Structure 1
Amino acid sequence: MRGPRPFADRAQAGAALAGRLAASADRPRTVVLALPRGGVPVAAPIAEALGAPLDVLVVRKLGLPRQPELAMGALAGLGGEVVEVLHDPVLRAARVRGPELDGVRAAELAELRRREAAFRRDLPALAVTGRTVVVVDDGAATGSTVRAAVAALRRRAPERVVVALPVCPPDTAAALAREADELVCLRVPSGFQAVGLEYVDFEPPRDADVAALLRAARARLPDEADSGQNGGGAS
């Protein structure tokens, strides 16, 4: 039996997700945070449908010094601050020394800040404390980036965290459902292979494309433009 047709592109996937997230439209303090770059074109139609402001949540994996594909933690940019989530079992098993961790942290922090500046430009970050936060990506394989985002958000005391994805495998869906208050995932195929295979057009958006989508979303809701000035997600 053939599975569903691939999404035409990220915008189509976002429009489909928006229909499943209609209940969040009744929450006046909802914000949509996209994991860039691929999550932003998915999140843009969601934010428009919900009448919610859109921002990016940049997450950088902290890879082991000699095995960078294995995460020993992650950094997440929330407003003017960066939240660090460390995986202590990995750190202990790999016997990572303080200077090694510091070196990886410094490199990833610099890249996180570079990306925030490229994506957000002069737009202020949105506050998340006490708000319903919809975290959006274009899909998840292991879910490690999304889980780091959720863990970081928890430290800023949002009222509710909803993870919205077009596709992820069953084990990832189960893990994310345990950590978020709600998981909305359009497809959870048992034969999942890769996120890109679920799309016809999976070309990565450019930094300029991401910046333009954020600016267009803020222009629709100008009153939200200064919402990050009073804490940038912290309180």
Structure 2
Amino acid sequence: MKNRKFENRTKAGEFLKDKIKAEINDLNNTIILAIPRGGVPVAYAVSEGLGIPFHLIITKKLTVPQAPEVAMGAIAPDGSYEINNRIYNYFNPTEKEFEEVKKKSLKKVKKRITKYTNLEEPVIQSKKIIIIDDGIATGYTALVAGKYAKNKGATKVILAVPVCPENNISKVLKVFDKFICVYSSSSARFAVGAYYQDFHQNTDEELFQYMQKAKNNDLLYTNLEKAEI
């Protein structure tokens, strides 16, 4: 990647596929889980390139009550969550406010699982999991996804992204067994979108198109169970 900028998420996925292939010898018994929506085109390109089935892992950011555009963490379908203590302490929400944020966010997770997968989620017990997003910034969404996969019985959980900030790598490795990143940045003003020429906000329609394409090409993971949420 000479100019350190991906053309789009699909192209980023192709670079990531090569990186995964170079760093992981045994991909048997492996499933790719994409973090919607931005992680889906990336994950599909990896899935297609490596012939590994893929599905979704759905989380939701926990936003600050006084500033909804600011994330203070993320929550998984089982209610487990990760908090950015710096943001949390700065805004200092009350216990009641925080519980309300968790409740609303968990409700949105359930709504998304219902919408995207008819309230079903992949069975990942005894599987190796590669969680894919279009990049990580603070890393809390990835962290909560990784912990959730381990709670569901995955034997090994790997995080793979096209771009990440160098200062968050050690934090990610506290949860994941392995971390794969095509390009890590030391920029003090890191933003995932700055490393893409096309970083448009993916739509639900695009997500469904990728899911259908995966199904048509026998790449959609089909061992599902009812989501316990």
With the length of structure 1 as denominator, give the TM-score of the two structures: 0.82
2:76 counterpart of 1:76:
yes
Q: How does 1:14-163 map to 2 (within 5 A)?
A: 14-22=13-21, 24=24, 26-66=26-66, 68=68, 69=70, 71=72, 73-77=73-77, 82-85=78-81, 87=83, 94=92, 96-97=94-95, 99-120=96-117, 122=118, 124-163=120-159
- Residues 84-141 of structure 1 show CA distances to partners (whole Å, capped at 9, x for unaligned) of 22549689964732x4333212211222222223333x48421111111101111111
2:175 maps to amino acid: E
* Cα distance in 1 between the residues matched to 2:75 and 2:214: 25
% identical equivalent positions: 27
* Cα distance in 1 between the residues matched to 2:197 and 2:93: 43
How many residue pairs get matched? 224
Tell me which residue corresponds to 2:205: 208
* Cα distance in 1 between the residues matched to 2:84 and 2:39: 28
The alpha carbon displacement at 1:170 in A equals 0.6
Deviates more, 1:84-93 or 1:189-198: 84-93
* Cα distance in 2 between the residues matched to 1:133 and 1:85: 19
Q: In the superposition, relative to structure 1, how do residues 14 and 91 fare at CA in structure 2: closer, same or farther (>3 Å)? A: closer
Contact 1:25–1:50 (8 Å) recurs in 2:
no
Deviates more, 1:107-116 or 1:207-216: 107-116
Secondary structure of the corresponding residue to residue 15 of structure 1: helix
Q: In the superposition, relative to structure 1, how do residues 41 and 95 fare at CA in structure 2: closer, same or farther (>3 Å)? A: closer
Q: In the superposition, relative to structure 1, how do residues 129 and 96 fare at CA in structure 2: closer, same or farther (>3 Å)? A: farther
Q: In the superposition, relative to structure 1, how do residues 75 and 222 fare at CA in structure 2: closer, same or farther (>3 Å)? A: same
- Residues 11-36 of structure 1 show CA distances to partners (whole Å, capped at 9, x for unaligned) of 00001111121265743321111111
With the length of structure 2 as denominator, give the TM-score of the two structures: 0.84
Tell me which residue corresponds to 1:175: 171
Secondary structure of the corresponding residue to residue 164 of structure 1: strand
1:212 maps to amino acid: Q
- Residues 3-60 of structure 1 show CA distances to partners (whole Å, capped at 9, x for unaligned) of 6341000000001111121265743321111111101010001112232221111211
The alignment's C-alpha RMSD in Å is 3.0
Unpaired runs of 5+ residues, structure 1, are: none
Q: In the superposition, relative to structure 1, how do residues 216 and 115 fare at CA in structure 2: closer, same or farther (>3 Å)? A: same
1:7 maps to amino acid: F
Unpaired runs of 5+ residues, structure 2, are: none
The alpha carbon displacement at 1:63 in A equals 3.2
Contact 2:137–2:191 (8 Å) recurs in 1:
yes
* Cα distance in 2 between the residues matched to 1:4 and 1:140: 19
